[in-house]
Structure 1
Amino acid sequence: MLILTQEHEIKFLNPAAAQLLEAQPESLVGEIFPFEVERGKRIELEVPGPEESTRLVELNAVDLVWEREGALLVILRDVTLHRSAELDLQREKERLAVTLDSIADAVIAVNPNGEVERMNQEAVKMIGVTLASVCGQRLGDVLKLRHPKTGKLITDPVGVFLSQEIAPELGVSLAGRDGAEFLVTVEMRCILEGDPSQHGCVVVLRDVTSHKKAEEEIFQTEKLHSISLLAGGIAHDFNNILTAILGNISMVRMGMDEGDIGSKKLLLAEKAALQATSLTQQLLSFSKSGTPLLEATTIDQLVEDSTQFILRGSNVKCEVHKDDNLWSVDADKGQISQVVNNLIINADQAMPEGGIIRLDLTCEHVSSGDIPSLPSGDYVCIAVQDQGGGITPDNLKRIFDPYFTTKKNGNGLGLASSYSIIKSHHGLMTVESVVSEGSTFKVYLPKAAQVAVPTPAATQEDNTIHPGHGRILVMDDMEAMMMVAGEILQVLGYEVEFSTNGDEAIEAYKKAKEAGKPFDAVVFDLTVPGGMGGEEACRILSEYDPGLIAVASSGYSTSNVMSEYEAAGFKAVVPKPYRIKDMSAALHRILK
């Protein structure tokens, strides 16, 4: 405390003031106070301290009568430690703000009344609000969270999540201000141990939408892998049976006139058996034997032709929109045609009263993370959008499951096989749907490294049967299949011997060659349960006789031999089921 005259001469100071000014009281009396003084105003001064330091001193001055004259009472207070603490606190707040904003998760601080106090930048971005607009609002009014079990809005998030009524790892639907919903995990902790009403709490939200979609993608792939084992086995046996049926029908028809009533009925039976092969092709789409034969190709004409064919006579129209200079893709035309057919058929059936299908063919660049489970790169996107009734969320989760269908006469293989085909093309199929508005299926196919070379138009099917001669060894594990193959070959003019597995075929081939009666060709069944199959037997015999002429014939294989037969040492393939003209054409080509 100091007393100054109107001219700021020091008339009195107490010991505390002298200590603050680092002087003896008697040495300052009579001196002019060196600092600015304003009545009724608080001023902060920097006062020299020990060892070249400075102190922050707060000065207050009021009028006073001293020894019957007007004077000033000056109060000095050392606020150095107080200001330092405030500065440290401010720096800590700034450090906390920077730390919170650097966290990838959304963080919201809630006061003891359950009101939003602060949030980081990720929370602002996720919810679509500003801190100023929601500060002071109740958390339940800011976060539009839906209970994962009831689907109702959670009005008291603090109570629900602190009680751990919902497991932290369980995804909760959060609606943004733009109406879009995404999946988040929610964790909530009290700021201090005890009652949240005393100290408030912190909420941490993590967007797991992409993660959940990736998990579902992996789960879907695993399901398809499991079903592929079953589907492949069924297709193998079914194709053998169909081959026996078709082979016998075609041989009987050879001995009949085309105009014969019996021949016509057999032709109808043959066509029905051939239609059954489409079912085995769908089954094979799940299995490894459905591996596509990829080649650089353009798909716009293929897609448009398939669409026109499917919608012929329908009350549904199709609008096609495509980018100029659409990229080529690496694809198996037959399999992609099957996919397009399935999508257009579904879109057509979704609009029994008529409507419009929008078909878009676009060049898309996908960055990492844009589409879960799809690597970054360039893709051609086929989008099929209908105006049907849409797909419910529950059905949407199972839409690509094998044998799942909502159609009265559906078999549940169309979309499942299409999904598997696109995966085998290193692409992806996605679906979005809104009930009562329609669905959009998108197919992403990788851009080809090379530009597609135009191919000549397909010629009419050749039904010529080519007779032949020579010795043929047939290896097949199914007796009925072996017999019909033998009869077909004998009708064509060949001498036939049989073996039921790879070991027997190797032994028979070597014996015949050493006896001077070699086989001109060997027809191998690729899959022999419990024994050596045709692929391994062909490899062994090729080492023994580099001039081996081998034909692969299978309705199912766990390798890519049927699509890459030359790399496996085969000269031709005859897929099961086959007719007499199919075997005739293959042998004629490699033996002529």
Structure 2
Amino acid sequence: MSPFLQKTTRILIVDDDEDDFFITSQYILDIEEGKFYIEWAKQFNEALELMRDHAFDIYFIDYRLGAKTGVELLQLAIEAKCEEPIILLTGKGNREIDRLAMKIGAFDYLVKSELNTEKLERTIRYALERSSYINAIRKNERKFRNIFEQSLDAVFITDINLQFRELNKASNELFGYSSETLLLMHLPDLLEDQLLGERLKHYLESGQDVNDLEMDIITASGDKRTCILSATVETDLEGKHYIQGLLHDISNLKKTEWLTLQAEKLAATGRLVRTLAHEVRNPLNNITLSADQLLQENTDQEAGVYMDVIRRNAQRISNIITQLLNSSRQAEIEVIAGTIQLLLEEVLAEAADSITLKEVALVKLIQEGPLTILSDHHKLKIAFMNIIVNAIEAMNDKNDAKLMIRVSGKNGYAITEITDNGCGISPESMGRLFEPYYTSKRNGMGLGLASTMNIIQSHKGFIEVNSEVGRGTTFSVYLPLHEE
């Protein structure tokens, strides 16, 4: 059943001629099936206010309204978000007016001299049915538009060449660019791996969808974010292909997974070390005590030399066990408030001789405003010294060795970036970087970075590492800022 046959249909007739209003309204009232409530508005502004307020279900507008026209009223009503059907009436047919009215948004165009009850019944019925369909579409469009705009994931549309055409707010926040800038860019422009961008473009151009593809994007500030991309190839009404995509930022998840893995490694190693320490120290104590007893009982000088060798090496083993235990257990810290800037100045002062001897150029980009943290000053200096010493040693063979220290505050953290242009770290070594006893140094024990990670985690901070073989490495240390 037609919508206007089920309930009273409210109709507004906008006409400055009362006779024409009477004739039109009488035709409508003669419709057998249907209930109607009809009002008359003879003033342009009066009608516009009613249309803005959505006061009626359908509007009949005369083309001639004194000094103004029905087309002007139609245009202003559409601009005011009037969604009810509007039908333009005119004294005689005019194809140009007809086309203009329909282009602006009129539902129909009728000639007054051709009006009758049958034509008006059909016009009202079609207009209300069409309006019902359009309103349902608009409602769904608003619903999905809200999902699009309010999504926490970056949702975007590109053309087939991956140039952005539409983006939601989360896209701006993820990429760090304004919408105006992004609309001039292509998705591959933001990828760290340009070859991946080319493969992605070729893949989508062939009509294939992308599901959960992991990729690293570079933001406007130069930060790297790890994301999962899902994209589908769609076709518009004109038969042109476009890409509809969603990027889910998993950087924090990856970071959490990595930190959890390091913590689990340290915990497992700690259990192993404590077991070994117990099993080794018991017989080691017996060896030491026996050596001491033999020294007391034996006055032979040559035997005394050998006993001394035994005691020194037993002590060396004991010291190694102590170092292993200290690197594997959670560091006990006593914190006081202080600035990260002052702490780093002290660390660099202690490393000054090494920096000078190795002819390393030191570049400091340190935020001037104080960045206060809670720290165990001595232990945190050890952690930073371990990183800086490793950076200096990574540049042994460089003639243009450069060490950059950058300090800034962001998102509640004091961030210290230590960058060298040394040999870099291979992907194989990167996965074991903070693993106790793993080292690439000839005489290293592999406890420096393990101890560093332990200290930083004890300060409720974390470390990120970015490296490229042959170009250098950046250690980024994040420590929570302290507010008085």
Gaps of 5+ in 1: 1-7, 24-32, 47-53, 65-71, 371-378, 451-592
2:215 aligned with 1:172: yes
2:426 aligned with 1:398: no
* 2:89 corresponding residue in structure 1: 59
* 1:279 corresponding residue in structure 2: 320
Contact 1:327 1:448 in 2 (8 A): yes
* 2:43 corresponding residue in structure 1: none
- Which among 281, 297, 300 is matched to residue 239 of structure 1? 281
Q: Distance in 1 between matches of 2:410 and 2:293?
A: 54
C-alpha deviation, 1:206, in angstroms: 0.6
Amino acid at match of 2:155: V
Amino acid at match of 2:456: I
C-alpha deviation, 1:208, in angstroms: 0.7
C-alpha deviation, 1:181, in angstroms: 3.8
Find the residue that maps to 1:295 and give its secondary structure: coil
Contact 1:109 1:203 in 2 (8 A): yes
Contact 1:147 1:154 in 2 (8 A): no
Contact 1:106 1:122 in 2 (8 A): yes
- Which among 144, 152, 158 is matched to residue 96 of structure 1? 144
Amino acid at match of 1:402: P
Q: Distance in 1 between matches of 2:460 and 2:333?
A: 11
- Which among 350, 362, 385 is matched to residue 394 of structure 2? 350
Contact 1:391 1:433 in 2 (8 A): yes
Name the CA shift for 1:285/1:432 in 2 (closer, same or farther; >3 Å): farther
Amino acid at match of 2:149: D
* 1:539 corresponding residue in structure 2: none
2:82 aligned with 1:43: no
Q: Distance in 1 between matches of 2:154 and 2:245?
A: 8
C-alpha deviation, 1:350, in angstroms: 0.8
Amino acid at match of 2:463: M
C-alpha deviation, 1:211, in angstroms: 1.0
Amino acid at match of 1:155: K
Q: Distance in 1 between matches of 2:409 and 2:163?
A: 44
Contact 2:332 2:458 in 1 (8 A): no
Amino acid at match of 1:36: R
Find the residue that maps to 1:215 and give its secondary structure: helix
The correspondence of residues 55-454 of structure 1 with structure 2, limited to 5 A, is: 56-60=86-90, 62=92, 81=128, 89-90=137-138, 92-109=140-157, 118-127=166-175, 144=191, 153-156=199-202, 158=204, 162-163=208-209, 168=212, 171-176=214-219, 180-188=223-231, 202-250=244-292, 270-287=311-328, 290-296=329-335, 300=343, 303=347, 307=351, 315-316=359-360, 329=374, 331=376, 333=378, 336=380, 339-353=383-397, 355=401, 357=403, 367=412, 384-443=418-477
Which structure is larger by alpha-carbon Rg, 1 or 2? 1
Q: Distance in 1 between matches of 2:167 and 2:227?
A: 16
Name the CA shift for 1:407/1:142 in 2 (closer, same or farther; >3 Å): closer
Q: Distance in 1 between matches of 2:347 and 2:209?
A: 55
Could you tell which deviates more after superposition, 139-148 or 335-344?
139-148
C-alpha deviation, 1:101, in angstroms: 1.0
Name the CA shift for 1:130/1:340 in 2 (closer, same or farther; >3 Å): closer
Q: Distance in 2 between matches of 1:183 and 1:63?
A: 63
* 1:373 corresponding residue in structure 2: none
* 2:47 corresponding residue in structure 1: none
Contact 1:105 1:204 in 2 (8 A): yes
Name the CA shift for 1:110/1:347 in 2 (closer, same or farther; >3 Å): closer
Contact 2:277 2:321 in 1 (8 A): yes
Over aligned residue pairs, what C-alpha RMSD do you find?
A: 5.5
Q: Distance in 2 between matches of 1:309 and 1:416?
A: 25
* Per-residue Cα deviation, 1:368-413 (whole angstroms, up to 9, x for no partner): xx7xxxxxxxx7x765443423334553333112343333444433
Q: Distance in 1 between matches of 2:258 and 2:207?
A: 26
Contact 1:351 1:387 in 2 (8 A): yes
Contact 1:296 1:328 in 2 (8 A): no
* Per-residue Cα deviation, 1:429-467 (whole angstroms, up to 9, x for no partner): 3334355453333445668999xxxxxxxxxxxxxxxxx
Which of the pair is proportionally richer in helix? Answer: 2
Q: Distance in 2 between matches of 1:421 and 1:221?
A: 12
Q: Distance in 1 between matches of 2:411 and 2:297?
A: 59
Q: Distance in 2 between matches of 1:113 and 1:295?
A: 57
Contact 2:155 2:246 in 1 (8 A): yes
Contact 2:372 2:483 in 1 (8 A): no
Find the residue that maps to 2:200 and give its secondary structure: coil
Q: Distance in 2 between matches of 1:247 and 1:449?
A: 53
C-alpha deviation, 1:114, in angstroms: 8.0
Q: Which has the higher contact order (CA 8 A, sep 6+)?
A: 1
Amino acid at match of 1:417: S
C-alpha deviation, 1:60, in angstroms: 4.1
Name the CA shift for 1:34/1:109 in 2 (closer, same or farther; >3 Å): closer
* Per-residue Cα deviation, 1:500-533 (whole angstroms, up to 9, x for no partner): xxxxxxxxxxxxxxxxxxxxxxxxxxxxxxxxxx
Q: Distance in 2 between matches of 1:152 and 1:423?
A: 40
Name the CA shift for 1:128/1:153 in 2 (closer, same or farther; >3 Å): farther
Amino acid at match of 1:100: F
Contact 1:283 1:417 in 2 (8 A): no
C-alpha deviation, 1:244, in angstroms: 3.8
C-alpha deviation, 1:103, in angstroms: 0.8
Q: Distance in 2 between matches of 1:34 and 1:444?
A: 71
Contact 2:228 2:248 in 1 (8 A): yes
C-alpha deviation, 1:177, in angstroms: 5.9
C-alpha deviation, 1:295, in angstroms: 2.6
C-alpha deviation, 1:352, in angstroms: 0.9
Find the residue that maps to 2:201 and give its secondary structure: coil
Contact 1:327 1:363 in 2 (8 A): no
Name the CA shift for 1:319/1:342 in 2 (closer, same or farther; >3 Å): same
